C-alpha cells in the first residue's frame, strides 16, 4: 500500500516483469521465435536463454513487444498465413533491447503469458468478437437516452458494488508502462477485465497527466488542485485532490527536490524514472543511476532503468544538482502525499462534478478552461453513491444522434444516478466503455482512440 505521508519508497519490479532478474549481469538472448495457430486464435512464442523483462503495446496495425536485458538477437522475419496476422519481425534495436513486432491484417485483442523455467513469453492473438467474458451479479450495465440543451444523447451506466470480495477495481496503464497508448478494449482484454472505462488525461506520447497509483506504488505524481479518484487500503473510495512533495536525501543530509515522477524534470528539481516508465529513459545530458539505494553512476543518453532502483534526471541548466552525488553514495527517496491516506489505487482527472450530493464544478480552480466546461462533448465520469457503490459513466457525442454533454449536464446526470461524489475523466474521442469484452458506447472518432490508462473491474482470482 502507499502510505501517503513521509514515505520512503523502494521501487521493486514493475508489473509484467519476470520474478527474478538477480543475474542481470549475464546477458539474455532470444533463442527462438515461433508461430502457432488454433483456428482463428494464434500465438507467438518467444524463447529466451535467461531472465528477461518486457512490455507490450498494440495499435490497429501491429503489436510491439520490447524485451530488455535481451542482447545479440538475430534478425528474423516470419511470414504468417492467418486471417488476422500478416508476419512477425524480431530484431535488436539497442544493445540491451530486442523488439518483436506482430504485423496485423486487421485489429485484434491479445493476452501475454510468461514462463520462467525455461524462460518463455507467449502472445496470444484473439479476434475481437471472441474476447468476451461473463458478468458477475454485482455489476449492472444500463443504456439511457437523455435530453440535453441541444437534443438527446446516449448515456452508458455501469453500477459496481466494490464490496464484492471477488472483484477488484483499479487503474491500469496502457502497455503496463507509463510511456504508451492502447485502446481501452485491448487493455481490458489483456487484464481479463469484466468491464472498464478509459482513464485520465495524457500527453501525446502517452504520459499520464496527474496522479496514478497502482497496487500501492506511485507511478505519476498529482497535479496541483486536480481531482483524483482513489481507493484506500480498507476499500473506501474517495474523490479529492492531493498535494505532493518528494525529495532525495543524501548521506550528508542534503535534499534534492523531486519535481516529477516518470515525467520530464521541472526547473530546479530532479525527475525520478522507475521501472514502471519502461525500459529506457528519454535522452538526458546528465542522469544518475541508483540501485538498491546506492548511486551506481552518473551517465547520459537514454538510460536503462534498473528494476531494483531508479534513474534521477535533470534539465541541462540544473546539472549541478546531480554533480554533488558520487558513485557509492547512499541516498533515500521520500515521497509525501497529503492528505495522509493509505492509497492502493488512484487515477487523476477532473474537474470535480458533484460534492456531497450537489453540483460542484470548480473547473477554474482546478485550472481547466471555460471551453471544457461549456462545450458539449463525449464524456467519461466516475461517481460514488451514498451507499458506497461506484458509478462508471460514458456519454456519446459529436454525431447527429448524440449531442454530448456539458460538464454541468454531466453533473446533473451523476446526481440523478444517486452520486454523492463524482468527477470527470478524459473524454472526447477517448471516451470508451467496455463491458464483458464488448465496446458499449460509440467512440466519436468512429473507432477507439488509444489512451494512456483505464479504470477496470476484474476478478481477484485472475
- pLDDT band of 26, cuts 50, 70, 90: low
The pLDDT tens digits for 122-159 are 999 999 999 998 889 999 999 999 999 999 999 999 99
Average of per-residue pLDDT across 84-108: 93
One domain for residues 348 and 455: yes
7 located within any domain: no
The pLDDT, as a whole number, for residue 461 is 66
CATH code (residue 57): 2.60.40.3500
Number of domains in the chain: 3
The pLDDT tens digits for 369-408 are 988 889 999 999 999 999 999 999 999 999 999 999 999 9
One domain for residues 312 and 376: no
One domain for residues 367 and 442: yes
One domain for residues 211 and 254: no
Helix (H, G, I), strand (E, B) or coil at 59: coil
Average of per-residue pLDDT across 335-357: 95
169 located within any domain: yes
Residue 49 CB contacts under 8 Å (≥ 6 apart), including other chains: 28, 29, 31, 119
Helix (H, G, I), strand (E, B) or coil at 229: strand
- pLDDT band of 21, cuts 50, 70, 90: very low
Burial class (CB in 10 A: 0-12, 13-18, 19+), 65: buried
One domain for residues 454 and 347: yes
One domain for residues 262 and 223: no
Boundary residue ending a domain (337, 372, 396): 337
14 located within any domain: no
Q: Is the pLDDT of residue 429 over 50?
A: yes
The pLDDT tens digits for 246-281 are 999 999 999 999 999 999 999 999 999 999 998 889
Residue 454 CB contacts under 8 Å (≥ 6 apart), including other chains: 171, 172, 174, 184, 187, 188, 196, 197, 198, 199
Higher pLDDT, 7 or 30: 30
435 located within any domain: yes
Query: Which residues does residue 244 pair with via DSSP β-bridges, in sequence order?
Result: 337
CB atoms within 10 A of CB 151: 12
Boundary residue ending a domain (275, 305, 337): 337
- pLDDT band of 460, cuts 50, 70, 90: confident
One domain for residues 455 and 360: yes
One domain for residues 345 and 232: yes
Give me the chain's average pLDDT, please: 91
One domain for residues 288 and 372: no
Q: Which three cell numbers stand for residue 150?
A: 441541444
Higher pLDDT, 219 or 2: 219
pTM for the model stands at: 0.90
Q: Is the dihedral of CA 256, 319, 203, 275 positive or negative?
A: negative
Instruction: Scan for cell 529506457, then name that residue.
Output: 280
Query: Using CA atoms, how far apart are residues 249 and 258, in angstroms rounded to an integer?
Result: 10
Is 329:207 a contact under the CB 8 Å cutoff?
no
One domain for residues 175 and 249: no
**Secondary structure E strands in 386-452:** 390-395, 419-424, 433-435, 438-439
Q: Is the pLDDT of residue 15 over 90?
A: no
Residue 55 structural domain: 30-130
Share of the chain above pLDDT 70, in %: 94
The pLDDT, as a whole number, for residue 174 is 94
199 located within any domain: yes
- pLDDT band of 205, cuts 50, 70, 90: confident
Find the length of the chain: 462
How far out from the chain centre does Cα 62 lie? Answer: 19
Average of per-residue pLDDT across 99-117: 93
One domain for residues 222 and 350: yes
Query: Using CA atoms, how far apart are residues 375 and 406, in angstroms rounded to an integer?
Result: 5
Q: Which three cell numbers stand for residue 247?
A: 525529495
Higher pLDDT, 188 or 17: 188
| Buried b or exposed e, range 316-351, using 16+ CB within 10 angstroms | eebeebbeebeeebebebebbbeeebebbbbbbbbb
18 located within any domain: no
Paired sense of beta strands 352-355 and 237-240, if any: unpaired
H-helix or E-strand spanning residue 372: helix 370-374
Query: Using CA atoms, how far apart are residues 457 and 147, in angstroms rounded to an integer?
Result: 29
Average of per-residue pLDDT across 8-13: 31
CB atoms within 10 A of CB 90: 23
Boundary residue ending a domain (337, 353, 383): 337
55 located within any domain: yes
Query: Using CA atoms, how far apart are residues 400 and 136, in angstroms rounded to an integer?
Result: 34
- pLDDT band of 22, cuts 50, 70, 90: very low
> Cα–Cα distances in Å, from 299 out to 91, 269, 286, 287?
26, 18, 6, 5
101 located within any domain: yes
The pLDDT, as a whole number, for residue 353 is 98
The secondary structure of the chain in percent helix, strand, coil, rounded to multiples of 5, reads 10, 50, 45
Query: Using CA atoms, how far apart are residues 460 and 89, in angstroms rounded to an integer?
Result: 35
Query: Using CA atoms, how far apart are residues 315 and 388, in angstroms rounded to an integer?
Result: 44
Is 70:96 a contact under the CB 8 Å cutoff?
yes
Q: Is the pLDDT of residue 4 over 50?
A: no
One domain for residues 445 and 349: yes
Query: Using CA atoms, how far apart are residues 433 and 453, in angstroms rounded to an integer?
Result: 13
Amino acid at each position: 500500500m502507499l502510505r501517503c505521508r513521509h514515505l520512503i519508497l523502494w521501487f521493486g519490479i514493475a508489473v509484467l516483469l519476470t520474478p527474478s532478474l538477480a543475474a542481470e549481469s549475464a546477458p539474455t538472448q532470444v533463442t527462438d521465435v515461433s508461430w502457432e495457430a488454433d483456428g482463428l486464435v494464434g500465438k507467438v512464442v518467444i524463447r529466451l536463454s535467461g531472465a528477461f523483462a518486457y512490455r507490450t503495446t498494440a495499435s490497429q496495425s501491429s503489436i510491439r513487444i520490447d524485451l530488455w536485458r535481451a542482447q545479440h538477437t538475430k534478425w528474423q522475419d516470419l511470414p504468417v498465413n492467418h486471417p488476422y496476422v500478416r508476419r512477425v519481425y524480431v530484431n535488436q534495436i539497442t544493445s540491451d533491447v530486442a523488439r518483436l513486432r506482430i504485423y496485423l491484417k486487421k485489429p485484434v485483442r491479445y493476452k501475454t503469458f510468461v514462463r520462467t523455467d525455461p524462460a518463455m513469453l507467449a502472445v496470444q492473438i484473439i479476434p475481437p468478437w471472441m474476447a468476451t467474458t461473463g458478468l458477475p451479479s454485482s455489476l449492472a450495465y444500463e443504456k439511457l437516452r437523455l435530453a440535453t440543451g441541444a437534443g438527446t444523447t446516449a448515456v452508458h451506466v455501469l453500477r459496481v458494488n466494490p464490496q464484492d470480495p471477488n472483484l477488484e477495481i483499479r487503474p491500469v496503464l496502457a502497455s503496463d508502462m507509463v510511456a504508451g497508448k492502447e485502446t481501452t478494449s485491448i487493455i481490458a482484454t489483456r487484464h481479463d477485465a469484466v468491464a472498464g472505462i478509459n482513464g485520465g488525461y495524457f500527453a501525446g506520447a502517452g504520459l499520464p497527466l496527474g496522479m496514478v497509483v497502482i497496487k500501492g506504488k506511485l507511478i505519476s505524481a498529482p497535479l496541483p488542485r486536480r481531482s483524483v479518484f482513489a481507493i484506500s487500503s480498507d476499500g473506501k473510495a474517495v474523490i479529492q485532490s492531493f498535494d505532493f512533495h518528494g525529495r532525495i536525501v543524501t548521506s550528508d543530509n542534503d535534499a534534492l527536490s523531486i519535481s516529477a515522477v516518470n515525467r520530464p524534470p521541472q526547473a530546479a528539481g530532479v525527475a525520478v524514472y522507475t521501472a514502471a516508465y519502461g525500459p529506457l529513459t528519454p535522452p538526458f545530458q546528465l542522469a544518475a543511476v541508483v540501485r538498491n539505494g546506492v548511486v551506481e553512476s552518473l551517465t547520459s543518453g537514454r538510460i536503462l532503468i534498473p528494476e531494483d532502483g531508479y534513474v534521477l534526471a535533470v534539465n541541462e541548466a540544473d546539472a549541478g544538482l546531480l554533480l554533488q552525488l558520487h558513485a557509492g553514495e547512499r541516498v533515500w527517496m521520500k515521497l509525501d502525499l497529503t492528505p495522509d491516506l493509505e492509497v492502493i489505487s488512484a487515477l487523476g482527472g477532473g474537474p470535480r462534478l458533484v460534492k456531497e450530493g450537489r453540483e460542484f464544478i470548480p473547473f477554474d480552480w482546478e485550472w481547466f478552461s471555460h471551453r471544457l466546461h461549456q462545450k458539449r462533448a463525449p464524456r467519461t465520469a466516475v461517481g460514488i453513491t451514498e451507499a458506497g457503490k461506484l458509478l462508471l459513466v460514458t456519454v456519446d457525442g459529436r454525431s447527429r444522434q448524440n449531442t454530448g454533454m456539458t460538464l454541468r449536464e454531466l453533473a446533473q446526470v451523476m446526481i440523478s444516478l444517486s452520486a454523492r461524489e463524482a468527477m470527470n475523466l478524459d473524454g472526447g474521442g477517448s471516451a470508451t466503455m467496455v463491458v464483458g469484452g464488448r465496446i458499449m458506447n460509440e467512440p466519436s472518432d468512429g473507432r477507439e482512440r488509444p489512451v494512456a490508462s483505464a479504470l477496470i473491474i476484474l476478478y481477484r482470482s485472475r
